[in-house]
Amino acid sequence: MNITKQKSQKTFDKQAADYDTNIQGEHARKLYKPIIENLKNKNIHSILDLGCGTGALLKEIKELNIAEQLFGIDISPNMLEIAKNKLGNDATLILGDSERLPFEDSSFDAIVCNDSFHHYPQPDIVEKEVSRCLKQNGVFIIGDCWQPIGARQIMNYYMKHSNSGDVKIYSKKEMLLLLSKDFHEIEWKSFGTRSCLIIAYNN
């Protein structure tokens, strides 16, 4: 595990106990609703939450009967422990790395990634792994941080020196270019000056 991933693991292990209510988890919680709205009315049998954290989003997906089979993967053991207590046998939860997904090709109808993408040291590898694990025309939904160019440049500078495991806040152009390698019908939405939602369909 490289140093950036170690920082992420350490950060989220520390935050896990009250992540569902504290300020560190506030941004992620605000994205639950738009992610779920974009999952509704789709024929989803199996779904993977990439960077599932405490399992709160998976729990809402379960309660709304959006998918029958729920899977989550996260790098933080403490986060996963809370998720397991929350979800019990309703989800398969795995301690792992988003750059090396332990699933067969074409395993999922949908993959979501909420407030996690900016932590990935090699987003191009994650993009390839997501495409591999999604069925053809499966949906990939990313909810993440976003900032206008000036603020984004400042934040990205400080992220390089952060101990939290943050890597980079991406521009709309960067995300569309990255996803266009293996996805189509890519839609990018901003929410104010802090958040974005990206919906894309696997080739």
d(CA 50, CA 125) in angstroms, rounded, equals 13
d(CA 187, CA 67) in angstroms, rounded, equals 22
Q: Of 53, 48, 55, 57, give the one whose Cα is nearest residue 15.
A: 53
**186 token code pair:** 């890519």
Q: Residue-wise pLDDT tens for the chain (203 aa)? A: 889 999 999 999 999 999 999 999 999 999 999 999 999 999 999 999 999 999 999 999 999 999 999 999 999 999 999 999 999 999 999 999 999 999 999 999 999 999 999 999 999 999 999 999 999 999 999 999 999 899 999 999 988 888 899 999 999 999 999 999 999 999 999 987 799 999 999 99
User: What pLDDT is attached to residue 68?
Assistant: 95
Instruction: Examine residue 140 and state whether it is found in any structural domain, yes or no.
Output: yes
Look up residue 69 and give its amino acid. Answer: Q
Instruction: Examine residue 81 and state whether it is found in any structural domain, yes or no.
Output: yes
CA dihedral angle for residue 139, residue 31, residue 1, residue 4, rounded to 10 degrees:
130
Q: Which residues pair with 188 in a beta bridge?
A: 198
Look up residue 104 and give its amino acid. Answer: E
Residue 157 · residue 174 · CB < 8 Å:
no
Instruction: Examine residue 189 and state whether it is found in any structural domain, yes or no.
Output: yes
CATH number of domain containing 33 = 3.40.50.150
Instruction: Examine residue 179 and state whether it is found in any structural domain, yes or no.
Output: yes
Q: Of 30, 37, 38, give the one whose Cα is nearest residue 56.
A: 30
Instruction: Examine residue 111 and state whether it is found in any structural domain, yes or no.
Output: yes
Q: Of 27, 10, 22, 23, give the one whose Cα is nearest residue 163.
A: 10
Q: Of 65, 86, 64, give the one whose Cα is nearest residue 74.
A: 86
User: What pLDDT is attached to residue 145?
Assistant: 94
What domain range includes position 79?
3-16+26-202
**Structural domain count of the chain:** 1
User: What pLDDT is attached to residue 192?
Assistant: 76
Instruction: Examine residue 21 and state whether it is found in any structural domain, yes or no.
Output: no
Angle at Cα 58 formed by Cα 188 and Cα 116, nearest 5°? Answer: 45
